[in-house]
A = this chain, B = another copy of it.
Amino acid sequence: MDNLVEEFNVYRSKMNDKLLADNNLLVKRIFNLDTNAYQEGALNVKTKELLGLVASTVLRCDDCIKYHLETSYKNGVTKEEMMEAMGIATLVGGTIVIPHLRRAYQFWEALENN
């Protein structure tokens, strides 16, 4: 099951490296913003990761969900907190979010089994 996490991270890393090496300035700057946006500020890192998770979920971006599940997990978000955030995302975004919720739950289990 934990292959799910590694496969995702390996592909993501490999392609990010290629994209950054390509030297398109706009893309590089967007990547750079993305790295900085979730750092401690008026809101703490855990809250920001949950905001990123919910935004990714209602926009139904599986890879973005996986990324924020992993960073949330590493920053001490509990399963119960994650599920409350995902519940709000499912309510706001509707039942079309449910397939992403299934895959998110599976990925969270993979994170716990890692």
Query: For the complex, is A63 an interface residue (Cβ under 8 Å from B)?
Result: yes
Q: Which residues of chain B are within 8 angstroms of A48 by Cβ–Cβ distance?
A: 84, 88
- Find out whether the CB atom of B102 lies under 8 angstroms from the CB atom of A12: yes
Chain A positions 18-64 with a Cβ under 8 Å from a chain B Cβ: 18-19, 22, 24, 26-27, 29-31, 33-34, 36-38, 41-43, 47-48, 50-52, 54-64
Query: For the complex, is A9 an interface residue (Cβ under 8 Å from B)?
Result: no
Chain A interface (Cβ within 8 Å of chain B)?
A: 11-12, 15-16, 18-19, 22, 24, 26-27, 29-31, 33-34, 36-38, 41-43, 47-48, 50-52, 54-64, 78-81, 83-99, 101-103, 105-106, 109
